[in-house]
Amino acid sequence: YFSSEPHFAGSKRNNDLARYIAEKWRKYGFDDVKMPKYNVLMNSPRKVWESKVEIHRNDREKTGKISGVVGRLRKSAVNDKILREDEKKGKDTPIFLAQSPNGVVEGEVVYADYGNKESFLHLQAVGVSVKNRIVLMRIGKMYRGNKVLNAASHGASAAIIYNDPAEYAPEGTGNNTFPHSWWLPDSGAQRGAARNATGLGDPLTPGFPSVDGIYREVLNNNGSSPIPAIVLSYGDAQEILRRMKGLKAPKSWQGGLQLTYYIGPGFKDKSLTLRVDVNSSLEFKTIYNVIGQIRGAKEPDRYVLLGNHRDAWVFGAADPVSGTAVLMELSRGLGELIKKGWRPRRTIMLCSWDAEEIGAVGSTEWVEENTQILQNRAVAYLNIDQAVNGNFSLNVDASPLLKHLALQLTQEICDPTVPDTCKSMYEVMLERDITKHVNGRAVCNDLSFGSDYGAFYHFLGIPCADWSYIFGGRYNIRRAYPVYHSVHDTFYWMKTFVDPEFQTHLAVTKFAGAFLLKLSDSELLPLNTTSYGEFLKSKAVSLEKNATLRAHNISTVSFSRAVRRFAKVSRQFERGKLNEKPENYRILNDQMMQVEKAFIQTVEENDWKLSRHVIHGLNIDDLYDNLYFPRVHYAMIKAKKTGDWKLVEKEISLLTYAITSTANVLKPI
- At 501-532, the pLDDT tens digits run 999 999 999 999 999 999 999 999 999 999 99
- Decide the pairing of beta strands 52-59 and 65-72: antiparallel
Cα dihedral value 140, 506, 327, 514, nearest 10: -100
Annotated catalytic, 538?
Answer: no
638 CB neighbour count, 10 Å cutoff: 14
Q: How many CB atoms lie within 10 A of CB 101?
A: 17
Tens of pLDDT, residue by residue over 234-273, are 999 999 999 999 999 999 999 999 999 999 999 999 999 9
> How far is the first Cα of the chain from the last one, in angstroms, to the nearest whole number?
52
Range of lowest pLDDT (3-7, 73-77, 567-571): 73-77
Tell me how far apart the alpha carbons of residues 151 and 158 are, in angstroms, rounded to a whole number.
8
Cα–Cα nearest to 613, from 669, 642, 655: 655
The values of phi and psi at residue 552, to 5°, are -105, 20
Q: Is 3 a catalytic residue?
A: no
- DSSP alpha helix (H) spans, 261-391: 322-339, 361-369, 371-377
Peptide bond into 179 cis (omega under 30): yes
Architecture of domain 12-36+289-400+448-521: 3-Layer(aba) Sandwich (3.40)
Is 478 in a helix, a strand, or coil? Answer: coil
Distance CA 533, CA 548 (A): 25
Q: Determine which one of 80, 299, 356, 596 is catalytic.
A: 356
For residue 437, name the pLDDT band (cuts at 50, 70, 90).
confident
Q: Is the pLDDT of residue 389 over 50?
A: yes
* Class at the top of the CATH hierarchy for domain 46-280: alpha beta
Distance CA(79)–CA(74), nearest Å, equals 8
pLDDT of residue 62: 39
Determine the pLDDT at residue 126: 98
Confidence of residue 64 (pLDDT cuts 50, 70, 90): very low
The residue annotated as part of the active site, out of 86, 590, 621, 633, is 590
Q: Quick check: 73 and 89 in contact, CB under 8 A?
A: no
| 610, pLDDT greater than 80 | no
Own/partner contacts of 427-434, CB < 8 Å, gap of 24 or more, are 428/393, 428/394, 429/393, 429/394, 429/395, 432/392, 432/393, 432/472, 432/473, 433/392, 433/393, 433/395, 433/472
Residue 221: pLDDT band with limits 50, 70, 90: low
* pLDDT for position 450: 85
Residue 385 pLDDT greater than 80, yes or no: yes
Residue 119 appears among annotated catalytic residues: no
Nearest to 508 by CA among 413, 637, 375, 638: 413
CA distance 666 to 434: 35
Backbone angles phi, psi at 448, to 5 degrees: -105, -130
* 201-215 residue pLDDT tens: 998 998 999 999 999
Of 309, 458, 488, 613, the catalytic one is 613
CB 591 within 8 A of CB 569: no
Residue 67 has a pLDDT of: 39
How, if at all, do strands 109-111 and 134-138 pair?
parallel
Confidence (pLDDT) at 456: 98
Task: State how far the Cα of 523 lies from the Cα of 521, in Å rounded to an integer.
Answer: 6
Across the chain, what does the average pLDDT equal? Answer: 93
Nearest to 427 by CA among 407, 447, 445, 446: 407
Nearest by Cα to 253 from 244, 435, 177: 244
pLDDT interval class at 195 (50, 70, 90): confident
Q: Where are the domains of the chain?
A: 12-36+289-400+448-521, 46-280, 529-666
Name the CATH topology of 529-666. Answer: Transcription Elongation Factor S-II; Chain A (1.20.930)
Q: Angle, nearest 10°, between helix axes 400-410 and 585-597? A: 110
Distance of CA 480 to the CA centre of its chain: 10
Share of the chain above pLDDT 90, in %: 82
555 noted as active-site residue: yes
Segment 300-356, tens digit of pLDDT: 999 999 999 999 999 999 999 999 999 999 999 999 999 999 999 999 999 999 999
pLDDT at 223 over 70: no
Query: What is the Cα Rg of the chain in Å?
Result: 25
pLDDT (tens digit per residue) in 533-556: 999 999 999 999 999 999 999 999
Peptide bond into 265 cis (omega under 30): yes
Contact 514, 306 (CB under 8 A): no
114-159 tens-digit pLDDT: 999 999 999 999 999 999 999 999 999 999 999 999 999 999 999 9
Half-sphere exposure of residue 377, counting CA atoms within 13 Å on the CB side? Answer: 18
CA dist., res. 374 & res. 368, Å (int): 9
Alpha-carbon span 413 to 420, nearest angstrom: 14
CA distances from 394 to 148, 409, 415, 430, 528 (A): 31, 12, 9, 10, 21
Cβ(448)–Cβ(619) below 8 Å: yes
